């Protein structure tokens, strides 16, 4: 049985949509493609497993297709919407903000759109953050800038106080842009809304530069991150080749999933060793990283190593330190490797030239590239379509080449990771020739 067979793809709805959408009166080129809840995208695409499911008389799991509905739930003339960005910065945040505002304003004629400053702190009165009234003129040019136009913050806030604020503001739709922690917070906010019997839609737009959100095949900012990471790899390779026994060491983002490190290594195939959280490796011993690096320098006189920030945490004492979002604080694997490599070759009386590059914060805070701009535009518009139809407790995802509605319950609290036996990692091994880096 496939893991996808157990996915609950039912998206809650606040009530029956009865109002004709304003989009109906503004048909493009004489027509507009509306989507119904019966239009669905199968989750499993393996033909054999689909046949097994149908033959067993089971229903094939499928997500609702995202897109505009002919009937909507909210009256645009009376609706108030709020938009908040949470967690770490990521290329494309401003594109999401812009897309949501423009679709609400021009597509659905919603005039009351509020931007919540500095993440969930913006809902809590003690912080004193202002609320912005968002207009097309205000957000028109923000996609050229990195960071978040609304600002962000980490850390949990009082969920009851957040919902109190939504009630006071008479908000009907809350758009939350963030990663796994934000989706967990969105689930808790939705629980309180349900308990209070409020008619507030909560729609998540998944944000993770690491591309590690479960049931989301691609997240915005990842394409930009890979592109910028390849520049760092190219620079490290040039540095390494420029000196006898030159070593380029690059630390990239990836707390629990090494998708950026693996994909960037394939995009710029100058990397000899890729270290990711999903695949264990040894430092010492005949098959460990240090011995393999020594052999590489003997053969080619230079080497390039890419390490994801969450790799190799076994080399440190277990930490119970948490960041404001509740994540375990990672030890700095990049600096650790730098020191260990230098010490190893010093003990062998071998002179090396090691250049260490950590572009993480530069990558996180730069503007998105063209592909991510387009992707963010689709995500933002589809989030608006879903919310206006009364959908709630969902996030907008990309699955099997379609934008879909994913229930928060199917994704929150779970993480997508590289399969060590899958095609991506096997391609990395083929491109680098690094072997397992594990002693027998």
- Nearest to residue 261, comparing CAs of 233, 238, 281, 292? 233
255 is in an annotated binding site: yes
254 is in an annotated binding site: yes
326 is in an annotated binding site: no
- Nearest to residue 301, comparing CAs of 349, 245, 354, 357? 245
**Catalytic option among 130, 210, 280, 358:** 210
The set of residues, in sequence order, having a beta carbon less than 8 Å from that of 271 and lying 6+ positions away, is 233, 237, 265, 304, 305, 306, 431, 432
Q: In angstroms, rounded to a whole number, what is the distance separating the alpha carbons of residues 422 and 44?
A: 17
210 catalytic residue (yes or no): yes
CA distances from 85 to 58, 82, 150, 186, 394 (A): 39, 10, 7, 12, 16
364 is in an annotated binding site: yes
Q: In angstroms, rounded to a whole number, what is the distance separating the alpha carbons of residues 263 and 72?
A: 40
309 is in an annotated binding site: yes
Which residues are paired to 415 by β-bridges? 213
- Nearest to residue 250, comparing CAs of 275, 278, 269? 275
> Angle, nearest 10°, between helix axes 159-169 and 180-195?
60
361 is in an annotated binding site: yes
363 is in an annotated binding site: yes
100's tokens = 């949501």
317 is in an annotated binding site: no
The set of residues, in sequence order, having a beta carbon less than 8 Å from that of 370 and lying 6+ positions away, is none
350 is in an annotated binding site: no
Q: In angstroms, rounded to a whole number, what is the distance separating the alpha carbons of residues 251 and 272?
A: 14
180 is in an annotated binding site: yes
The binding site for Mg(2+) consists of: 180
Catalytic positions, please?
Answer: 210
The binding site for ATP consists of: 88, 154-155, 179-182
The binding site for substrate consists of: 208-210, 253-255, 309, 361-364
């Amino acid at each position: 049985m496939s893991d996808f067979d157990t996915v609950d793809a039912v998206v809650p709805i606040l009530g029956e949509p009865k109002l004709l959408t304003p989009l109906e009166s503004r048909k493009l080129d004489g027509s507009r493609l509306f989507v119904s809840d019966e239009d669905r995208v199968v989750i499993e695409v393996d033909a054999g497993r689909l046949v097994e499911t149908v033959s067993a008389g089971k229903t094939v799991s499928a997500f609702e297709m995202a897109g505009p509905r002919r009937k909507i739930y909210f009256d645009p003339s009376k609706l108030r919407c709020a938009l908040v960005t949470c967690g770490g910065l990521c290329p494309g945040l401003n594109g999401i903000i812009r897309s949501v505002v423009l679709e609400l304003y021009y597509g659905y004629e919603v005039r009351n759109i509020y931007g919540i400053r500095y993440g969930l702190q913006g809902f809590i009165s003690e912080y004193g953050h202002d609320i912005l009234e968002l207009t097309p003129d205000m957000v028109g040019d923000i996609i050229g800038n990195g960071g978040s136009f609304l600002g962000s913050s980490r850390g949990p806030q009082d969920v009851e106080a957040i919902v109190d604020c939504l009630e006071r503001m008479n908000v009907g739709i809350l758009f939350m842009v963030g990663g796994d922690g934000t989706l967990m917070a969105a689930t808790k906010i939705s629980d309180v809304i349900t308990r209070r019997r409020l008619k507030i839609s909560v729609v998540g737009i998944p944000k993770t530069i690491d591309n590690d959100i479960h049931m989301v095949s691609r997240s915005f900012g990842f394409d930009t991150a890979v592109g910028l990471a390849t520049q760092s790899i190219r620079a490290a390779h040039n540095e390494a080749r420029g000196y006898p026994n030159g070593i380029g060491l690059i630390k990239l983002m990836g707390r629990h999933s090494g998708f950026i490190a693996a994909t960037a290594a394939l995009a710029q195939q100058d990397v000899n060793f890729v270290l990711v959280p999903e695949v264990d490796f040894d430092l010492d011993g005949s098959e460990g990283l240090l011995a393999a690096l020594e052999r590489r320098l003997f053969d080619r006189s230079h080497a390039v190593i890419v390490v994801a920030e969450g790799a190799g945490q076994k080399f440190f004492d277990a930490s119970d330190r948490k960041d404001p979002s509740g994540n375990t604080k990672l030890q700095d694997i990049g600096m650790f490797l730098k020191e260990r490599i230098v010490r190893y070759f010093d003990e062998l009386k071998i002179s090396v030239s090691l250049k260490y590059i950590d572009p993480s914060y530069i990558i996180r805070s730069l503007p998105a590239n063209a592909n991510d701009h387009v992707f963010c535009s689709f995500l933002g518009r589809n989030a608006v379509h879903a919310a206006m139809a009364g959908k709630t407790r969902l996030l907008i995802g990309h699955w099997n080449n379609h934008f879909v509605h994913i229930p928060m319950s199917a994704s929150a609290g779970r993480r997508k990771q590289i399969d060590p036996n899958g095609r991506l990692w096997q391609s990395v091994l083929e491109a680098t020739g690094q072997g397992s880096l594990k002693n027998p």
